[in-house]
Amino acid sequence: MVGMKVAIDENDAAHGRGYTTARMGRKSRLRQERRTGEPAREKPRVEKTAVPPADRKPILIACALLVVAIAIAFARVRSQDYITLDDPEYVTANSTVKNGLSADGIGWAFTAFHSANWHPLTWITHMLDVQLFGVSAPAEKLVNVAMHAGAAIFLLLFLVRATGALWPSAMVAALFALHPTRVESVAWVSERKDVLSALLFFLALYLYVRGVVRASGAPSGGGALGARTTPMIWVAVVFALALMAKPSVITLPFVLLLLDWWPLRRFERTPLSQLLLEKVPLFALTLVSIILTLRAQTEAIVQTSLSSRIENAIIAYADYLRMLVWPAGLAIFYPTPASVPVATLLIALVVLIAITALVIRYARRFPYLVVGWFWYLGTLVPMSGIVKAGIQWIADRYTYISYVGLFIAIVWGVKEIVERRPQLTRPLAAVAIAIIAAFGIATFVQAGYWKDAQTLFSRTIAVTSNNPVAEANLAMILFDRDKPKEALPHIRASVAADPSIASSQYTLGRVLDATGDRAGAEQALRKAIALDASFAGPYRTLADLQMKAGNKDEALHLLTRASELDGGDPATRAQLAAARGDLNAALSDYAAAVAASPNDANLRNDYATMLARQQRDQEALNEFNEVLRLRPDHYFAHMNSGALLRRLGRENEAIEHFAKATFLRPASPDPHVYLALILAVRGEQARAISEIDTAMKLDAVEANRYFSELVRLPPQNNNLASYRAVLQQQLAAKPK
């Protein structure tokens, strides 16, 4: 695609602003030398750097087209939900963020090393979203889309300012904006840091290039430090903000040095020492950010061998090249391979070395290849896995800025071809439009998979294998929707893929408990504690199991430890107080916990249960109703509501809740036992016996325990005839 020719004014030309040397063909030089008898001089070509006001209309049109294309490609996010990975930590379960923008919140943002990061500006934007829109996934995602559009526009403006070539710049910006790998950064609320930091990154590049262009008229020949002081101050300010959005943009000063090579060509007229000196403040900011990030990620850094990390980094660099040209099978999480085949590693290494060698070989002839390739290699270093934080080795979001370098190299390479062979202009323009359209459609489709967590992780499982994170998240989603039987195979698959993840063992324990396998649940929970003794969740759940088994002392010990680990979390304190029999303290702590997390259905259910235990029946019913408003399929809220309504003599309403519970957990005998008792009291003996028969067939041991507990009689030793006799006796127990 041919770059739009944008003239520069005479003042620019007088100071040599933006000039490059156009290489003459060998035959042309020989003809000129024969004709003149003198060595041929290569003709200077203006590499357009300053766009006069009269020519800004095409730029505005290009920006408008970018915005429209982005709006269409990401239109589906306007009706999407949060997901279960990271979004609770960043928004939905983060009480500080959910309180909106406040002085305390801003102070927390600057002092907390939360989520293994120090990114206060990102936290503040989340708080501002909540302040303006409430806790709303569509609103936050649309803000991400707007920031992504802003990043694309600043990328376009920076390239136009640096090169003067509008349509190649627009092509790079369009490829950046619409490549399917961008979906993860835009559609994932927690990745606000990606779009925000990139917006500021490209703004910093624009300010830098503008400063170079304006300072190029200085008497020193374009590199005067004094003429550059003010622009560099603004670059430093924006860079600092970008680092406060996401520290992975630490490579910006190195990118500026690449731009000094091309297209600014400052190396030709300014000593390297001066180019480095003006960037000292930026390198200082980079150093500070590295220190803060290492402190924040101390616990997240994975201790693996250096050789293993280097191998994975080589494979990752090569795989990202594949994803650039064939972005199929994209997923939110790619499992780290257990081992890398030697042949695969060698092929990847040869490809990377070969490309690097070619780029260096033709560095002076095609300087944009140097800039593009080393932009790609350099900006990926913080995410390459050399210093590995977490269990993820590659991710779509890691390419957010790095792919721009490859797009620059490719597009300017095509521009070079078109300038040499103008007859290819239309065919290549058609190909470019087709590629952009294909990427836009693929992005639209990929964005649809982010509809909700279940859709996203189901898709991830479909396009990857042995994926412990995706399997565990899908299991947790199904479990939270009271579908433990459906959750069980997924959490087993997660543990099989990686048995060393404590959170997966914890989820397995909870799911096994819900399906009635108490022994298996206890084993999984103890395994989780062994893997991560600082993880409070398994202690709480194991304590609940011990209370049910009558081991009160061990339960109290476990809850005490959980409370210590939770830092005095009111929900854990409430559970501990209830276990000790201090119902007033438990009620007070539950109230505090609900106030901090009003949309936590499980927490509200526990609070309502505590109210019911203190005979505050109407308040308890109100809370159970609120739980069911938040989650209509909450099994325990239906069970607890039914039990309370039965106690109040509101049998018809109780039956409705227990019937719903049988639907939610068809393998559980508990609601059938309750229904049997209510129906017996109502005189519906046949239906009552049918329900107890069903309960006994589902789980005779659990039905025996539950029935005996409810009717306050000794266990009937699983004797169905005895239970039928007890049901007949319930007729006399009907409240007057």
Averaged over 117-139, what is the pLDDT?
97
Q: State residue 516's pLDDT score.
A: 82
* Banded model confidence at residue 247, pLDDT cuts 50, 70, 90: very high
Choose among 250, 160, 167, 164: nearest CA to 201.
250
Q: How far is CA 111 from CA 85, 127, 191, 244, 372, in A?
A: 24, 15, 20, 12, 37
Q: What rounded mean pLDDT belongs to the chain?
A: 86
Residue-wise pLDDT for 214-233, tens only, equals 876 543 333 444 445 668 99
Q: Give the pLDDT confidence score for residue 53 in this predicted structure.
A: 41
Lowest-pLDDT choice from 20-34, 105-119, 391-405? 20-34
344-400 pLDDT, tens digit each = 999 999 999 999 999 999 999 999 999 999 999 999 999 987 766 667 789 999 999
- pLDDT of 245 reads 98
CB count within 10 Å of CB 299 equals: 9
Check the CA dihedral 557-559-563-565 and report its sign: positive
The one-letter amino acid code at 316 reads A
Cα–Cα distance between 301 and 520 in angstroms, integer?
Answer: 31
The two structure tokens encoding residue 546: 């011990």
Contact at 8 Å (CB) between 708 and 723? no
Please tell me the predicted confidence (pLDDT) of residue 9: 34
pLDDT in tens, 405-417: 999 999 999 999 9
Burial string for 702-731 (b: 16+ CB within 10 Å, else e) reads bbbbbbbeebeeeebeeeeeebbebbeebe
One-letter identity of residue 520: G
At residue 46, the 3 state secondary structure works out as strand
State yes or no: pLDDT of 324 exceeds 70.
yes
Lowest mean pLDDT, pick from 440-449, 540-549, 592-601: 592-601
Give the pLDDT confidence of 369-381 residue by residue, as tens digits. 999 999 999 999 9
Asked if 251 and 379 touch (Cβ cutoff 8 Å), the reply is yes
Hey, what are 210's tokens? Answer: 């503008």
Which pLDDT value is given to residue 93?
86
Per this entry, what is the length of the chain? 736
For residue 246, the model assigns a pLDDT of: 96
What pLDDT, on the 0 to 100 scale, is given for residue 52?
45
- What are the residues whose beta carbons fall under 8 Å from the beta carbon of 642, sequence distance 6 or more? 653, 654, 655, 656, 657, 658, 661, 671, 674
Distance of CA 82 to the CA centre of its chain: 10
Higher pLDDT, residue 436 or 573: 436
- Residue 160 CA to residue 50 CA, distance in Å, equals 8
Compute CA distances 82 → 139, 141, 599, whole Å: 11, 9, 14
Residue 214 to residue 365: CA distance in whole angstroms: 27
CB 633 within 8 A of CB 481: yes
What gap in Å lies between CA 101 and CA 124, rounded to an integer?
7
Q: How many CB atoms lie within 10 A of CB 381?
A: 17
- What is the pLDDT, as a whole number, of residue 414? 97
Q: How far apart are CA 720 and CA 714, in angstroms?
A: 14
Selection from 584, 285, 533, 550 nearest residue 525 by Cα: 533
Q: What per-residue confidence (pLDDT) applies to 10?
A: 30
Whole-angstrom distance, CA of residue 657 vs CA of residue 71: 44
